[in-house]
């Protein structure tokens, strides 16, 4: 869905996040190739992109310095020619708030990133918190469906697909 339809996917794995970011366990992942994605995900102004997420080994190919940054603490600049390919995650000054995920963690987000890159050739996705603005994280499929920003919710290894806006999809 991420590659063929350009559709975001809510990823719900394990318990809701507390403390440091849970590295994609309560995230909305989406293609970074669509400049309109930031508006779709969070209704952000054009100068406020969503964060990129990338597997740690691929980060230096796309970002400078591209070092390990699981908690989004450092400034990374996109390498020349990359900003046009992933416009949804670039700040006006050419920087991005990168989150890296180590592939050895075997999380759902790591598997999704790997598969997306294999299909699309793009090693980066948009990553934003799976929550309602100003409220807590989606605790379950029903709350993610209530958000209504996508038809797809990946929860505990199962893909749930909404067929109508009001539906809480079966998984």
pLDDT at 34: 92
CA dist., res. 125 & res. 8, Å (int)? 10
Q: Does residue 169 sit within a domain?
A: no
pLDDT at 47: 66
Residue pLDDT, tens place only, 84-132: 999 999 988 999 999 999 999 888 889 999 999 999 999 999 998 888 7
Q: Does residue 1 sit within a domain?
A: no
Q: Does residue 170 sit within a domain?
A: no
CATH at residue 35:
3.90.870.20
Which runs of E-coded beta strand occur in the chain?
Answer: 9-12, 26-31, 51-55, 63-64, 76-78, 95-96, 99-101, 124-129, 152-155, 158-161
Q: Does residue 4 sit within a domain?
A: no
Average pLDDT over residues 20-43: 80
Which of the 8 DSSP states describes residue 33? T
Backbone angles phi, psi at 63, to 5 degrees: -125, 155
Q: Does residue 168 sit within a domain?
A: no
Encoded tokens for 66: 């591209």
Position 49 confidence tier, pLDDT thresholds 50, 70, 90: confident
Q: Which domain holds residue 82?
A: 9-161
pLDDT at 36: 87
Residue pLDDT, tens place only, 63-87: 999 999 998 999 999 999 999 999 9
Average pLDDT over residues 142-148: 89
Q: Look at residue 48 and tell me whether its pLDDT is greater than 70.
A: no
pLDDT at 106: 81
User: How many domains does the chain divide into?
Assistant: 1
The rounded mean pLDDT for the chain is: 87
Q: Does residue 2 sit within a domain?
A: no
Position 57 confidence tier, pLDDT thresholds 50, 70, 90: very high
């Amino acid at each position: 869905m991420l590659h063929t339809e350009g559709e975001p996917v809510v990823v719900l794995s394990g318990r809701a996040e507390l403390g440091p970011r849970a590295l994609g366990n309560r995230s909305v992942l989406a293609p970074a190739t669509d400049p309109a994605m930031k508006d779709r995900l969070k209704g952000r102004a054009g100068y406020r992109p969503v964060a990129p997420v990338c597997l740690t080994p691929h980060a230096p190919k796309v970002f400078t310095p591209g070092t390990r940054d699981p908690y989004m603490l450092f400034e990374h600049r996109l390498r020349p020619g990359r900003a046009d390919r992933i416009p949804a995650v670039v700040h006006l000054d050419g920087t991005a708030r990168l989150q890296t995920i180590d592939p050895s963690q075997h999380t759902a987000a790591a598997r999704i990133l790997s598969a997306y890159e294999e299909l699309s050739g793009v090693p980066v996705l948009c990553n934003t918190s799976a929550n309602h603005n100003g409220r807590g994280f989606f605790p379950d499929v029903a709350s993610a469906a209530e958000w209504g920003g996508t038809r797809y919710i990946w929860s505990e290894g199962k893909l749930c697909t909404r067929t109508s806006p009001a539906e809480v999809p079966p998984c």
